[in-house]
Structure 1
Amino acid sequence: MSASTKRTAGLALALLGGVSLASQSRINGELGSRLGDGVAAALVSFGSGFVVLAAAAIALPAGRRGVKALGDALSVHKLRWWQCVGGVSGGYFVAMQGLTVSMIGLAVFTVAAISGQVGSSLLVDRAGLGPGGPRPVTATRLVAAALAVVAVVVAVADRVGSPGALGLAALPAVGGVAVAWQQAMNGRVQAAAGAQTATFLNFSMGFLTLVIVYSVLGPLRGLPSRWPAEWWLYTGGLLGILFVLASVVVVRTVGVLMLGLGSIAGQVLASLAFDVIVPASGDHLAANTVAGALLMLLAVAVAAR
């Protein structure tokens, strides 16, 4: 398979991963609304994914081999311990989503997070932190990154409003920076121990982070009194597995920036489809959302060159 074909296949997987992530966000958002607690919904999502992956690691021969390979890589310093905690970034990100969206709005949260992620992706690629080695900061990549941020701003322009706590946008921006680092570290683990083990380790670290956060917030905010009966509200963890699995598989081929742009494009396109087919309460399909989606696809096309 040629390098160009591998990049195209990797970009397609990144797009599909973004669709999975958008679907997970919609489901977790609905669960959080029903529970009145977004962090609790994130904990359920990470926890269910962790249980599925832990069972697979125990039951499947490939899972057991991957765990052994991870231990071997750590023992000979092929991997460092700090390269194995990328999932903490995922836990922090969803915790910040649950804590800040109600104060700054989803639109501001999204713009801040994407800006942090795209900017950090350029630096992470340049430093060679991912498994594919260093990738230079070229004019084309800078233009693609800038287009991606503009695309997100355009897509959410009608939802920004006038939040009173705009300074809190620094928290999701830091989360976006951490996500780029997380993807690079997950790729390192995948190269040493396989995709299944990298995904399991990511969920383990994210779940542990959310357990710690919720052990503090739960008693202060109160625990949910009623849990909805619809089974599909608890499938966010499975969709998260698909997203992380796609990410760890393709990051070596396309790099952190292209992985991020591809997954963001998948999220935007899936959100458009949701707005048309099954719109959430208060959501509508606006011209600026369509324009933002087209700009996002242009950003991916520019970066793919």
Structure 2
Amino acid sequence: MTHTPRLPLIAGLPMAVAAGLFIPLQGRINGALGVELRDGIGAAVVSFSTGLVVMGVISVALPKGRAGLARILPAVRERQFPRYYVLAGCIGALFVFAQSFTVALLGVALFTVAAVTGQTLSGLLVDRMGIGPAGKRPITGIRVLGSVLTVAAVAWAVSPRFSAGESVLQLLLPVLLPLLAGFLMSFQQAMNGTATVHYGSPIAATLVNFIAGAVLLWAAWLVKLAVSGAGNPLPGQWWYYLGGPLGCVFIGVGALLVRSLGVLVTGLGMIAGQLLGSLGLDLVFPVPGTVVALPTVLGTLLTLGAIILATLPWPRGALKR
């Protein structure tokens, strides 16, 4: 096992925020590809497959990548971590499934709140259980308060986009899928982070992540192909194929950071980046239905404040449960 130095919070948290900026951009690209193909699962397959190609090239071209590649099979064979950790990419595939099946029904706003709520709650749980490479981290009152404020701030930021007149009961079942996908994302980050420690490189962990997710999505798409046929042919514009490479960035950075920051703080940092990136896209490249109101800006700022609250080095025992 390769021991790499841990990053201090002041360096790691901005990296998490920067990685989170790519998530809404990837979502915008994959969403446009899904519309172009008239096939949401097909768009997810393209995204994961291009990401897999990029990670394969990086793994072979870079010395660090080749070294990590050589450690994958020995690490799995010697059970240096639970073998099911290699299936972490299936959680990413589930998240893409959740987007494909529920965003059209719920809207991006409600989907985001459900996913962030699940991810924030599980971030506390995963840190407490010590599943990630950072080990066990206590559930303190400050961390709980910061998590609750994060969820509330995200809900406030996206509130202008909520559709009116829909029954809560009508939305309850569809909301459970992004809630579950978000909840499992913290486990994915912990599993990838642990694998990174044993592979000696986030490159290898990201490659394995894309292999597992791509296999699952290809299987799902083949079933869909047999049932309802193919969608439109692949478009010629190059930018439709950037979703996978962008995924390589935030999956790899997440796998690198959880050892230093823990799962909760890494997730909160990425949530902040996601909101900032969404706000920037809506201001610079608005799409039909885009709403940038005062709650959007203030909710984003409150999210940043909540994350600072949850990550500052408070005195030992402050509001500890």
Measured against the shorter chain, the TM-score band is over 0.9
- How far residue 26 of structure 1 moved from its aligned partner, in angstroms, is 1.3
Check the 8 A contact 2:45/2:217 in 1, yes or no: yes
CA contact (8 A) 2:6 2:260 kept: no
Using the size of structure 2 for normalisation, the TM-score is 0.90
Instruction: Give the equivalent residue in structure 2 for 1:84.
Output: 86
Name structure 1 gaps, 5 residues minimum.
none
Structure 1 residue 279 displacement after superposition: 0.7
Amino acid of the structure 2 residue aligned with 1:39: I
Q: Which residue of 2 aligns with 1:188?
A: 194
Q: Do the aligned residues in 1 keep the contact of 2:86 with 2:208 (CA within 8 Å)? A: yes
Any stretches of 5+ residues in structure 2 without a counterpart?
Answer: 313-321
Q: Which residue of 1 aligns with 2:117?
A: 115
Task: Determine whether 1:233 maps to 2:233.
Answer: no
Cα deviation digits, residues 227-247 of structure 1 (max 9, x gap): 322111111111111111111
Q: Which moved more, 1:283-292 or 1:133-142?
A: 283-292
**1:6 to partner: Cα distance:** 1.2
For 1:86 and 1:73, the matched residues in 2 are separated by 15
Larger CA deviation: 142-151 vs 5-14: 5-14
Tell me whether 1:292 sits opposite 2:294 in the alignment.
no
> Which residue is equivalent to 2:97?
95
Tell me which of 269, 272, 279 is aligned to 1:265: 272
2:8 is paired with a residue whose SS is helix
Q: Distance in 1 between matches of 2:245 and 2:130?
A: 30
Contact kept? 1:144, 1:300, Cα under 8 Å: yes
Q: State the distance in 1 between where 2:10 and 2:41 align.
A: 36
- Counterpart for residue 146 of structure 1: 148
Range that drifts further, 167-176 or 133-142: 167-176
User: Bigger shift: 95-104 or 137-146?
Assistant: 95-104
Normalising by structure 1, report the TM-score: 0.94
Instruction: Return the match for 2:229 from 216, 222, 239.
Output: 222
SS in 1 for 2:302: helix
Q: Aligned partners of 2:35, 2:286: CA distance in 1, in Å?
A: 15
Structure 1 counterpart of 2:257: 250
Deviations 1:245-287 (A, max 9, x none): 1111111111111111100100100111111111112213111
Change in 2 beyond 3 A, CA 1:225/1:173 = same
**Which amino acid is the alignment partner of residue 290 of structure 1?**
V
- Alignment counterpart, residue 177 of structure 1, candidates 166, 183, 186: 183
What do you get for the CA RMSD once the two structures are aligned? 1.7
Q: Which stretch shows the higher mean deviation, 148-157 or 3-12?
A: 3-12
Query: Residue 204 of structure 2 corresponds to which residue in structure 1?
Result: 197
Alpha-carbon offset, residue 5 of structure 1: 6.9
Confirm or deny: 8 A CA contact 1:261 1:299 kept in the other structure. Answer: no
Partner of 2:73: 71
Q: CA deviation at 1:20?
A: 1.3
Q: CA deviation at 1:4?
A: 10
Tell me if the contact between 1:104 and 1:166 (Cα under 8 Å) persists in the aligned partners.
Answer: no
2: CA distance, partners of 1:59 / 1:291: 44
